[in-house]
Amino acid sequence: MPENKMFPRDFKWGTATSSYQIEGAPTAGGKGPSVWDTFSHIEGKINNGDTGDTACDHYHLWRDDIGLLKKLGVNAYRFSISWPRIFPTGKENEPNQIGLDFYSRLVDTLLENQITPFITLNHWDIPQGLEDIGGWTERDIVHDFVKYSYHVSKHLGDRVRNWITHNEPWCISYLGYIEGHKPPGLINKWSKSLATAHHLLLSHGMAIPEIRNNSKQSEIGITLNLNTAIPASGSTYDEDACRFFDGQFNRLYLNPLYNNEYPDDVFEYLKTKSLISESDLNFIKQGDLNIISTKTDFLGVNYYSRAVIRNEEIDEKNNLPRNVDMGPKTDFGWEIYPPGIYDLLMRLKNEYKVQNIYITENGCSYGDGPNSEGKINDKRRIEYYLSHLTELKRAIEDGAPCNGYFAWSLMDNFEWAQGFSQRFGLIWVDFETLERIPKDSYYWYKKYISANGLDED
C-alpha cells in the first residue's frame, strides 16, 4: 500500500461532542444550572423553543453511545465536561463527587474499548452562578476556571492524556457580546467582548501547569475556530473589512497564544470607530501575555467554511462588484470550501510555526432522515467529509503537522440557537424516542478510517 496515500501512522481518528449539546439531565446528581440552561429557556432565543433539557439523553445512554463509537472503529473521542456538574455554582471549595464519577466511568469505559479520551474543559456551559457575577468579563473567573481544571485533572489525570482548555473562545466573546446569539446574549459590547477573550486566554495559560502537574505526560491545548478570510472584491473597503475580520476572528487568538502579543490593528480599528477607548483595555495586566503564550502541546482547530468578507459600511452600488465564485452550501447555509482547510493549516505551520495540530471539529449539517426502509442516505455529508479529508491529506503531505481528525459530530444534537433543526451527526437521533440510527456517512467513515484514509482508487 502506498504510504503517501494514507494518513500518518498513529493518526487519531475520532468524533466530537459537547456536554450541553448531548447530555440532558440538567439537575441530575446535584448539577447546577449552566448559562445554556438559562439561555435556552428564554423565550425567542432558540429556534422552535428547543432546549437541551433532554437533548440526546447521553447522561443516561452513554454506554450505548460508547458502543456506537466502538462499532465505528474510532481510536479517539472528544467530549466536554459540564462545569456545573463539578462545581454547581462555580464557587464551592470542593468538587461534586457525583459529577466527577460520571466522567470517570465514561473515561474508564472508553479506555476499556481502546478509545483515547480528549477532554474539553469548557465547551461554553459555565455555571450560571459565575455568569451572575460577571462571567468571563471579570478577572475573578480565571481563578474559578483554574480550580475547576485542577480538580478535574486531579481526578481523571491518571487516565486522561489529552486536554483542551477552551472550545472556540471567539464564539463566547463575539457571539455572546457582539451578536448576542449565545449567552449572555449582549449586543455590540466591545469592551466586554475583548475582556472575555482575554480572560479565556489567561485562564488557559494559568490552567496549563495545574493540569500538567496532575496529568503527567499529558498533551494540553486549546481549540480555536479558525478560517481563511478573503475580500469579496478588490475594493479597499472590502480589503480593510477583511483585514479586520481576520484580526478579530483569527489573529486576536493566535497572536497572543503564539507570538506573545495582541494584534494592535484590531484595537486601533475599534478605537477609530469609537467602539472602545484606551482605558477599556485595562484588563490586560503586565505579565498576562507571558502566561497566555505558555507553550502548549497542540492546537485544536475547528474548521467548517471560509469567510468571504463584504464591507457593510458603504452601499453595494458604491462598492466594486463581488468577484468570488462561491461554492455550494450545506443546509445551514455555510459555503462548502474544502481547500480552506489546506490553506488554514499551511498558514498555521508557516506563519505561526504551530508544531502539532488536531482537527478537533469538521463537519456539516444536512437534514437527511430515514427512508422507508429506515436507512439514511446522507451522500452529501460523505462528499463533504471526503473532500475535506483529501485536502487535509494534501496539507499533511506538504508538511502540516496534523496528527488527528475529529468529525463533528458523533450524533445529531442540540445545535445551540438552532435547536434541533440542524443535524451534524454521523448518527441520526430521533429526539422524541431517542433512538439512534447510524447514517450512511457513519458506515463510510468507518471504512475510511479503518483504511487510514487510503484512497479507494
Q: Is 208 helix (H, G, I), strand (E, B) or coil?
A: helix
Q: Which is nearer to ligand GCO, 109 or 225 (CB)?
A: 225
Q: How far is the CB of 272 from ligand GCO (least distance, A)?
A: 30
Which among 35-43, 164-172, 186-194, 435-443 is the span making contact with ligand GCO, rule CB under 6 A? 164-172
Verify binding: residue 23, ligand GCO, rule CB under 6 A.
Answer: no
Locate 340 and state its grid cell: 480552506
302 forms part of the interface with ligand GCO (CB under 6 A): yes
Per DSSP, 110 falls in state H
Q: Is 361 designated active site?
A: yes
Where do the DSSP E strands lie in 135-259?
A: 162-167, 219-225, 229-231
Spatial contact of 244 and 277, defined as CB atoms under 8 Å apart: no
Do 423 and 384 form a contact (C-beta atoms < 8 A)? no
Contact between 65 and ligand GCO by CB under 6 A: the answer reads no
* Min separation Cβ 409 and ligand GCO, Å: 7
The one catalytic residue among 168, 210, 391, 415: 168
Nearest residue (CB) to ligand GCO, 289 versus 392: 392
* Closest distance of CB 298 from ligand GCO, Å: 17
- Position 408 contacts ligand GCO (CB under 6 A): yes
- Between residues 288 and 361, which has the closer beta carbon with respect to ligand GCO? 361
CA-to-CA distance for 372 and 407, rounded, in angstroms? 27
Let me know if 276 is exposed, middle or buried by CB neighbors in 10 A (0-12, 13-18, 19+).
Answer: middle
Site for ligand GCO contains 361 (CB under 6 A): yes
Grid cell 429556534 is found at: 47
Nearer to ligand GCO, 391 or 415 (CB): 415
Asked if 266 and 252 count as a contact pair (C-beta separation under 8 A), the reply is yes
User: Site for ligand GCO (CB under 6 A): which residue of 15, 19, 203, 225?
Assistant: 225
Sign of the four-CA dihedral 415, 159, 213, 15: negative
* 163: contact with ligand GCO by CB under 6 A: no
Q: Does 171 bind ligand GCO (CB under 6 A)?
A: yes
* Sign of the C-alpha dihedral computed for residues 133, 300, 405 and 66 taken in this order: negative
> Where on the chain is the footprint of ligand GCO (CB under 6 A)?
18, 21, 167-168, 171, 225, 302, 361, 408, 415, 424
Enzyme catalytic residues: 168, 361
